[in-house]
Structure 1
Amino acid sequence: MLSRVEWQKKSGKLTYVDLGVTRGKPEHLASGWIYGIPDTFPNQIPDSWYTDVGFRWGKGGGGQLGRPGQRGWVVSLDDYKGRLASALTNYKTCRAVGADFHINVHDLWGTDHAGGKTGKWPGDNGDFSDYDRFVRQLMADVAPNMDVSHVTWDIWNEPDIQPYFWVRSAQQWMDLYIRTHKAIRANPALDKMKISGPVIGFAPGPNNAYWTSWLPQAVGNKTIPDYYTLHLLGGLGDIAYNPQYALGSLNNLLTKYGAPSRQVFVNEYAAAAEMVPSSYIWWISRLERHNLFGMLANWLGGTQLHDLFGGLLTKQRDPGNYTATDYAPAAGYPVYKYYGSSMTGLRANTTGSADRWLDVYATIGSDKVRILAGVKVHTGTYAVVVRNLSAVGYTPNASVDVVTWSFDGESTKKITGEPARRGTTSYRVVDDAITIAVIQTANHTGWAFEIDVRI
């Protein structure tokens, strides 16, 4: 009969933390989100809510603002200015807490007010003149009002997700991308600003015509962006949207078309069903392992889109009251706070489970080894094997006390407290390793394990 550990290994339910291999200091690569920042400055959310999660990057452009004077360039210059004001206040908030800012340019244009298939889109009838005026205006507004070394221009969002952000041909969008990239790079005031693209909604692959058409054209026109962007918003078990496989697919395309490597930015990650601690931890773990920059997707709407950190926060009384300031943590905030504030020192090498449901992120601090473990919206019996304990001072056959914490929130609307201490379990070192059981009975629960450092 197989032992439990042997069965878990055979079933693909083991993850590994190797304390003998480190990967540099924590940089909170997954601590960002799109929108989620109130359009006020100084910001109505106190700075500590940002800094405690190690906030690295935000993104905005006035999306879903619908009042006259806030509907985007496609309606009028004044409506563009209303959306620009939103973007500028979000930028100021990001910089005030040390984060970089990405401009959601399609929202400044106003795709949500463009009128659908019968409306007005850049390049209609081969005429980009109005769009070119828009780009020149935005460049003129960005250069004196932003530190462009901390800004990224996101050329156009999800042209393949029709009819929401684009309702014209793929080639018309590619023409837009190429002319925008060239216009930005011809402007010396924006030399230090980064460009991201292609911002395609579906995952890269040999059968995705947007990717296989855009990439050779970007290479041929010398318009490769500074960041390759991925949106990973698929189904829970859809392997194409798993960062490991999406990155592999992208690299295959880069090789095929002779494109240079770049930093990959997953500037939207996690589907709506994944806004729970188990999944947040899974995404953090995957992004960190592959050194991918990440911004959490935002599935809220209306004024809540411009508030609540994309669902990491709620409010004591009414989260729909935009001007209220009684902020409180929702399900995900304690996870990101632990990730951003407690996980210090050096990142340890990790391996996710072979069945792809459990993943881990670990750091070795001066006081403790800290491990986050998340079974992505799934249940079952799993385990974390911690190897090379001698690297943190444990001798053969030593006893290792592991303190377990649980993150139990299950809603972006409900207030969630601090992680709950679930007790201490002692393990005996065998072959310089211990195996920590993860009994996942509630699919939303996330876990943290702490081990004292003895050197």
Structure 2
Amino acid sequence: MKSLRTLLIAACIGPALALTSRQTTSQTAFVDLNTTLGKPEHLASGWIYGIPDNFPNQIPSSWYTDVGFRWGKGGGAQLGSTGQRGWVVSLDDYKGRFASTLANYKTCRALGADFHIYVHDLWGTDHAGGKNGKWPGDGGDFSDYDKFVRQLMADVAANMDLRYVTWDIWNEPDIQPYFWVRSAQQWVDLYVRTHKAIRSNRALDAMKISGPAIGFAPGPSNSFWTTWLPQAVGNNTIPDFYTLHLLGGINDVTYDPAYTNTSLASLLKKYNAPARQVFVNEYAAAEEMVPSGYIWWIARLERYGMFGMLANWLGGTQLHDLFGGLLTKEKNPAAYAATDYAPAAGYPVYRYYGTNMTGQRANTTGSADRWLDVYATVGADRVRMLAGVRVHTGTYSIVVRGLGAVGYASGAVVGVDAYSFDGASTKAVVGMVGTSRGKTSYSVVNDAITIVVHQTANHTGWAFEFDVKR
């Protein structure tokens, strides 16, 4: 890690918030050590693709386990050789994509992670021929698609432990012309018949179903959501996971989990739909693939109890490698068969999240202006916090309350160690851990301390730690 442009300014100030002239209370996040929320489950530790298509695969297992890897997803996207282009081309081309899918599944299960199937990629939407091509249900005819579903059901039943598998019915039907080029109703018809086919197959009872995987955020003006949800309710085809994609970028509030948590709940209430676990199975825009962005998303997903898989903005063979950009290679990240793996800017963040943050999760609140968020744990040895200003600059503060719960009386001194995570590239090699930025002493006033961060490099993320005294 090279020179740091982000300066941490530490001051011994109490919860009354002696803020600088460039800072307002809207730029303050809170950690409450009096309230814990259960053990860390690494809700954000997963990504789509990013796993080599061989098993055992060429990435050593420690690269996965150190980040608390929870789930992966695959289906053979962007494979273009003969025999790898998907069902829409031929049965043999489907078999090639299923081989990729099965290899990714085996890797996930060997590491204790669940696996989600990208069914649209097994169909071969990238080889479907666009608007003039072949899509399920054209002319009201689903017969070929039904054959595809029967083939895939037989293959997953024969080759996978379905307790750890989720069938994602169709990906981003509203992102046209990439994954769907027909009407919302034709896609809903596909969804309903697929759900019913799966649930009528007793061999698949243990497998979960996810949907709708709509690309744009849920809300009353999203016609794909409002077309799908009432029909899913009416046909008794509600999925096991409600899947969302939150990829809209940092300036659109509708892609903030704080917004979608409420907007989805309103839609469910309107259409009398049951509650389900929310799975953001693609999160973070390309511009957010930096430490500050990664941390913001981790904190947001953890707060709202949403499962998450990091989006993957790489292409070609790199799509099937490099953990979606968390890893790079010492010489050439585009060299698919090379094994000289190294951490890119985001990997140390997820490694800290997956390895260091132990004990109990603490209750947190993000800043009112939406830019700063924090995730915190109370371990047997230390309190640890990840803080990220979402690809943004400014002066921010973190108020840590409830110091008495970890052994600090009023007037006691808390020595806080600070670490920075730097780098703005998914290609450049960085260190395996954050860079130490020293220790600062804070006096406890009214059971709290305040840490002030001057964020001048929008990519930098932070970790703060201090000892538990009890």
Name the TM tier (shorter chain). over 0.9
Alignment counterpart, residue 348 of structure 1, candidates 349, 355, 362: 362
> Residue type of the partner of 1:420?
T
Q: Give distance in 2, aligned partners of 1:15 and 1:193.
A: 39
**Cα distance in 1 for residues equivalent to 2:466 and 2:399:** 13
Asked if 1:326 is matched to 2:327, the reply is no
Q: Distance in 2 between matches of 1:425 and 1:3?
A: 17
On the 8 A contact 2:23/2:395 being kept in 1, the answer is no
- Which position in structure 2 is the counterpart of 1:248? 262
Of residues 448, 452, 455 in structure 1, which corresponds to 2:467? 452
Match of 1:390 in 2: 404
Match in the other structure for 2:3: none
TM-score with structure 1 setting the length: 0.99
Give deviations 1:357-383, integer Å, cap 9, x for gaps.
Answer: 000000000000000000000001101
Q: How does 1:51-62 map to 2 (within 5 A)?
A: 51-62=65-76
> Hey, what's the Cα distance between the residues in 2 that align with 1:71 and 1:387?
55
The CA distance in 2 between the partners of 1:81 and 1:247, in whole Å, is 38
Q: Is the 8 A contact 2:209 2:241 kept in 1?
A: yes
Cα deviations by residue, 1:267-325 (Å, 9 ceiling, x for unpaired)? 00000000000000000000000000000000000000000000000001000000000
Look up the SS of the partner of 1:153 in the other structure. strand
Distance 1:333 1:410 in 2: 12
Q: CA deviation at 1:18?
A: 0.2
Alignment check: 8 A CA contact 2:17 2:450 kept:
no
Aligned-pair distance for 1:235? Answer: 2.0
Secondary structure in structure 1 of the residue aligned to 2:72: strand
Q: Deviations over 1:337-371 (max 9, x none)?
A: 00000000000000000000000000000000000
Report if the CA contact (8 A) 1:13-1:355 is conserved.
yes
- The structural deviation recorded for 1:10 is 3.8
Name the SS for the 1:134 alignment partner.
helix
Unaligned runs of 5+ in 2: 1-15
3-state SS in 1 of match to 2:146? helix
- Equivalents in 2 of 1:223, 1:443: separation in Å? 43
Q: 1:266 aligns with which of 268, 272, 280?
A: 280
Q: CA deviation at 1:438?
A: 1.2
1:105 paired to 2:88:
no
> Structure 1 residues 335, 3: closer, same or farther in 2, change over 3 A?
closer
Structure 2 SS opposite 1:90: helix
3-state SS of paired residue (2:214) = coil
Q: Where in structure 2 are the equivalents of 1:47-446 lying within 5 Å?
A: 47-417=61-431, 418-446=433-461
Gaps of 5+ in 1: none
Relative to structure 1, the CA distance from residue 436 to residue 84 in structure 2 (aligned partners, 3 Å threshold; closer, same or farther) is: same
What is the DSSP-based 3-state SS (H/G/I as helix, E as strand, rest coil) of the residue aligned with 1:202? coil
Amino acid at match of 2:456: T
How far apart in 2 are the matches of 1:123 and 1:183? 15
| Aligned-pair CA distance for 1:410 | 1.3
AA paired with 1:86?
S
Measure how far apart 1:244 and its partner are: 1.0
Compare relative contact order (CA 8 Å, sep 6+) and give the higher one, 1 or 2.
Answer: 2
Q: C-alpha separation between the residues in 2 aligned to 1:354 and 1:94?
A: 38
% identical aligned pairs = 76
Offset, 1:3: 6.4
Q: State the alpha-carbon separation in 1 of the partners of residues 359 and 49 from structure 2.
A: 30
Q: After superposition, give the CA deviation of every residue in 1:376-395 in whole Å (9 maximum; x if it has no partner).
A: 00001101000000000001
CA drift at 1:9: 7.3
Q: Would you say the 8 A contact 1:161–1:201 is kept in 2?
A: yes
Name the CA distance, whole Å, in 1 between partners of 2:437 and 2:69. Answer: 28
Partner residue, 2:8: none
Kept in 1: contact 2:249–2:284 (CA 8 A)? no
SS of residue paired to 1:12: helix
- Partners of 2:111 and 2:243 in 1: CA distance: 24
CA RMSD of aligned residues (A): 1.0
